[in-house]
Structure formats: C-alpha cells, structure tokens
Amino acid sequence: MADIESPSPAAAPAATATAAAAVTGAAAAATFAPSALAQTASTLGPKSTGMPGPGPFSGGLPDFKNLATDGVESYETFGCKVYKDSPPTPDWQRASVWFDRRIASHEIKMPDGKILDFWVFEDEAVGSKSRNVPSPLIRVQQGDLVHVRLKAAKGPHTIHHHGIEPTTFNDGVGHVSMEVGTEYIYQWEANTPGTWIYHCHVNTPLHFEMGLYGAVVVDPKPDPGTRRVRAFDGGPLYDVEQFWVFDDIDPRWHLLEHGAGLCGEDVGLNIFEPQYFMVTGGVSRRGTSVGKARITARANQKILVRMINAAYSQVRVRLEGLEYDVISVDGHALGKSAWNRYQRVAPGEELVLATANRYDILIDLASPVNQAAILKKKSFRTEFEFVDWITWKRQNLGDPVAEGLAFSSIDVV
Ligand SMILES: [Cu+2]
C-alpha cells in the first residue's frame, strides 16, 4: 500500500450530476439487513435506531460490594468465578437513543446441508426476524447518549461495545463489573464516528464464535444545509454503503455448552478448524457468489465498505480491477490528526484483516484508474480468502462444498 495525500473535505466533490439523483448520505436501518442497507437512504438522528429514545428505564445504585469476583478465585477457576447480577445502571442519564437486545438461538443451514446452532442478540422489537449472524446493527449519531438493554437467557452474558470505552461498569467485561444474570442496561456516549463492534464477553472465544456479535456504527452529525452524512467527522461523502463482515465456523464448537472450558476443563478451545465461511450473513458455497456481499453502484459513485473481521482466520481481501482508499482503521479515521493519510490500495492488491480488525474503504468509481477499468468491464470480482493465522494456508483447502475462499462482485449499473 502506498501513502497518498488524503483529499481535504473541502476538496471532496459533492454529488455529481447523476449522483444527485442517488441516495443522500449514509444508509440507516434498524436491523442488520445488508441488502436493504446498501443504497438505502433515510434520515439519521434518533430515528436511525431500532427504537427512538428516550427509553422507559430508570437507573439506581448497585451494590458495589458485590462485583467482579464470586468468592475466592484461583488460577484454575478465573473464568467461572465471575459475579452475576442484574443491577440498576449507576449514574443514570436520559438516553437519546436506545436498543433492546435479547439472547436467542438461531439455526443456519450450511452448504453441505448440516444445520448448526448459533446464539445471537435478537432485537426484541423486531422479534425472531432479527435473528442473524451478525446480530442486528446498532447505529447511532455522534453525541448520542445510548442505552442498550441486554436480556440474558439460560446462562449469563454481557455486551462489550468494543472500542467505545464507556465507564467500567458499562464496559461489559465481567471481571471488572459483573456478568448479566437476567438484564442490564448499558449506558455509553457515542463520541467517535466510525465502525465498531459489540459482542458478548462471557466465555468470549466460544460466545463470539456462536454469533454473539454485531456492528456498531457511529455516524457524524450531518452537514448543515445539505444534511448529507460523511463517513466520519470531516471525512468523505459517499453514495452507496455496504458491510463486509467475515466469519468462519468450526462445527465442533457449535455443540459446546455455554460455560464449556470456563472452570479450567479442557474442551479443545485451543483447536479451531473452520469448515464453513460467511460474509455479511451469507454462507459461502464453493464456486458460488455470496449475494449478501454484492455491491451495485453507478459509474461515478463513491462506495463506502465497512469491513469487520469476525473470523478467527486472517482474511485477505482482493478487489479485481479497482483501486480504493483505506479511510479508517479499527474505528479511527485516517486523513486527519493523528493519522493524516489515507492508504491507497492498487487494483488487485491485497488487504489483510486480523481478527476483530475493521477497515473502512472508499471506492471512488469516478477516479481515472477506475473509470478506465469501467470502460472495459462492468462487473468486478471481490475475493475474500480465509487463511490460517500461523501457516497462512487457505482454510479447509480443497473441500468440495466450502473452502476458505468466498467471493462476490461489484457491479456497475
Ligand atoms: Cu454470552
């Protein structure tokens, strides 16, 4: 990847002639429905969320004596001695937006016909239709005070809003507060626009693998006047938005119990052998394009792709024929202080995502390189290769139904 100067926001072209008829600013959706998200426009602000706030909840003062550790802890029992509670949220403030998330089971059919059990955060207002891997999107605007109510089921769970950095109590890491026995309302402020993740932090390797994660998007405030929404505060405008969320599945793990391995017993969580691969909720089948990862755009539009690696593999992303810029890494914007440059990725060049890595990329179809490519063809293959962390070999290599190579396309219409 080569360093290039990022354009200043003032130099970023506004909507072009045909793009004027296109969508304005970012997409907004209550649940994570990628096909609906791409090229969908609606107003942002409080109504960008699953439920408009403020919520009907009330706060209180938990018993701070009973936190973090349940009884005497040892090296062997570190994982299973976490205090479980459902206290009122301390330092309660009125929310501007709020969400409900309830733990639910969800079955997904794999390409060989096998049906696997997943655990997801369901949006209570939407019900079973919101059951998906990844779990429903949490989308808020910079400056929002956010409440997320978690309702646990069977065993305890938490929600950790990864990278958001709320107070210790609201961070959803059991050993610094508690695991949620029945329900808890997490409270946090949306300070930094970008792409984030939320996930359960109980028996984390297993619960994350089971599907207890989703995307968090913090949008900047819209531009005054035009009301268009940029990728981040002072960042570029965009016309089309897509999420690429990568996941890999070891079916053996999906037979394990809620607390498997927590109290020191060896259940093989050190062995991960993925046999199935997903992009944005679509299960990859060998030789078949993943429809949910597809992007359609017009020839002069700017595409924002929010990539999240929820796999335990490294994911190598290749875009045939198109150049693009990495504009944000792990929720933090490039092109402004303290990371002053976008990273240009040339056509065909690889971008590698480690586990939990996020990259926001901007594909400007109007750039000279991309315009020249579009003159020759209209469909560009996008490739997502899942490789082993240590050996860098493709996962499940040679499998007739699902090897670690998913693909889709960017189609210029
Ligand atoms: Cu959990």
> How many CB atoms neighbour CB 8 within 10 A?
10
Residue 86 Cα to ligand 1 middle (Å): 15
Stated pTM of the model = 0.86
CATH class of 46-219: mainly beta
Distance CA 343, CA 333 (A): 11
Residue 120 Cα, ligand 1 centroid: separation in angstroms? 9
Mark the ranges of the chain whose per-residue pLDDT is less than 70: 1-59
Q: For residue 350, how far is its CA from the centre of ligand 1 (angstroms)?
A: 33
Distance 249 CA to ligand 1 centre (A): 17
List C-alpha distances in Å: 152 to 159, 196, 274, 393: 10, 22, 27, 38
Give the Å distance between the CA of 10 and the centre of ligand 1.
44
Contact 180, 156 (CB under 8 A): yes
CA of 153 to the centre of ligand 1 (A): 9
Q: Map tokens 């809620």 to a residue.
A: 258
| Chain segment 28-76, per-residue pLDDT in tens | 333 333 333 332 323 233 333 434 344 555 667 777 787 888 888 887 7
Ligand 1 geometric centre to CA of 203 (Å): 7
Beta strand pairing status for 160-162 and 84-85? unpaired
Bridge partner list, 317: 351, 384
CA of residue 225 to ligand 1 center, whole Å: 43
- Ligand 1 centroid from CA 63, angstroms: 23
pLDDT score at 56: 52
The answer to whether 16-27+230-412 and 46-219 have equal CATH topology is: yes
Q: What is the model's pLDDT at position 47?
A: 33
**How far, in Å, CA of 370 to CA of 287, rounded?**
26
Taking a C-beta distance cutoff of 8 angstroms, is the pair 214, 223 a contact? no
- Residue 207 Cα to ligand 1 midpoint, Å, equals 5
Q: How far is the CA of 142 from the centre of ligand 1 (A)?
A: 27
- Are 9 and 230 within 8 A, CB to CB? yes
CATH number attached to the domain at 16-27+230-412: 2.60.40.420
What is the whole-number distance in angstroms between the Cα of residue 133 and the centre of ligand 1? 14
In the prediction, which pLDDT does 131 show?
Answer: 95
284 C-alpha to ligand 1 centroid (Å) = 25
pLDDT tens digits, residue range 308-334? 999 999 999 999 999 999 999 999 999
Centre of ligand 1 from the C-alpha of residue 178, in Å: 12
Q: Report the separation in Å between the CA atom of 287 and the middle of ligand 1, taken as the mean of its atom positions.
A: 34
Give pLDDT, residue 7: 35
Q: Rounded to the nearest whole angstrom, what is the distance from the C-alpha of residue 110 to the centroid of ligand 1? A: 23
Domain ranges, ordered by start, for the chain: 16-27+230-412, 46-219
- Res 411: pLDDT: 98
Q: Do 361 and 345 contact (CB within 8 A), yes or no?
A: yes
Distance from residue 320's CA to the centre of ligand 1 (Å): 38
